[in-house]
Amino acid sequence: MLAKTFILLASLASAVIAAPAPPAPARPPCRPTSTRVAPVATATLPVTGTGTELPAPPAGSVLKAVALGHGIQNYTCAAANGSATATGALAVLYDILPLYPGTAGTGLSAADFDALSAKILYGQSLPINMQNTAAAAPGTPAKPNVLPEASYGAVVSKPFNLPLSDAKLGALSLKALGVHYFDKDGRPTFDLKASSGLLGSVSKVDVVAAPPTAEKGILGTGAVQWLGLPDNGLGIGVGVSKVYRVVTAGGVAQACSVSGAGSGSVPYSAQYWFYGTA
């Protein structure tokens, strides 16, 4: 009897061991991970379209920033029958790289991107600490705030309103990146250190005329030239090998016979493209 019981138990044990395991709980259907990547536009330096262009960016350089500058160009006339001499510029720089056409979610159309220079010229007051505060208001394209050049001068000891404020152009908000000025030795300087660590200390080398269709500005004098501004080699700059001034609006001096002898300034705007080593 004991033997039969043992055999029966052994048979039951074998049956349990041999029985298939219960099915595993159903797993939810596999959802593949998305491999879609937001498209990134390749920003390309603008061209005049006139057949005369600035040289291409230096070989091996990469785009570091694209800024919209808004401010004043400074001039002096030694005599009323002389020619105006450029003596520098002051501008606040705003980030427009996210607005480059084709940038996912934020890019503008090519026409709207190119129109930013004219739009900011009339879309906000001059972001400069002006001696004559009435000169900061731009007026409208139909009725610009035309004043004598001497009225547009900045406060020399404190030309910028600090801290810098972002620009508001309708629905667009442009982050302030830094400032453009000429240092005590007359060197064009672009200070973006606070926003990106970049500092450009450059020389004027490449010059081409703005397209004839460019916005002529508040005084109606024309758009300043497009420039290529390489690092001046003095070891001052940080992260910037060349700056381009393109898509300009306004900024050309009046004839000295109109402005008279002495110093004056003209409102302007422009795109600034910053290149450096990778």
CB within 8 Å of 218: residues ≥ 6 apart: 121, 122, 138, 139, 144, 145, 146, 250, 266, 267
Whether 65 has a pLDDT exceeding 90, the answer reads yes
CB within 8 Å of 81: residues ≥ 6 apart: 256, 257
pLDDT, mean of residues 240-266: 98
Give the pLDDT of residue 278.
83
pLDDT, mean of residues 257-269: 98
Give the pLDDT of residue 15.
38
pTM to 2 decimal places: 0.86
Residue 90 pLDDT level (bands cut at 50, 70, 90): very high
Portion of the chain with pLDDT greater than 70, in percent? 85
Q: Give per-residue pLDDT as tens, 94-110.
A: 999 999 999 999 999 99
pLDDT, mean of residues 207-235: 99
Q: Give per-residue pLDDT as tens, 141-167.
A: 999 999 999 999 999 999 999 999 999
Amino acid sitting at position 232 = N
Whether 33 has a pLDDT exceeding 50, the answer reads no
Question: CA 65 to CA 57: how far, in whole Å?
Answer: 13
Count Cα neighbours of 50 within 13 Å in the Cβ-side half-sphere. Answer: 14
Cross-strand partners of 182? 188
Asked if 203 and 234 count as a contact pair (C-beta separation under 8 A), the reply is no
Give the pLDDT of residue 7.
36
Tokens of 139: 């007026």
| Summary mean pLDDT of the chain | 90
Whether 17 has a pLDDT exceeding 50, the answer reads no
Residue 19 pLDDT level (bands cut at 50, 70, 90): very low
* Residue tagged 């050049």 (tokens): 149
In SS3 terms, 208-226 reads as ECCCCCCCCCCCCCCECCE
Asked if 88 and 181 count as a contact pair (C-beta separation under 8 A), the reply is yes
pLDDT, mean of residues 244-262: 98
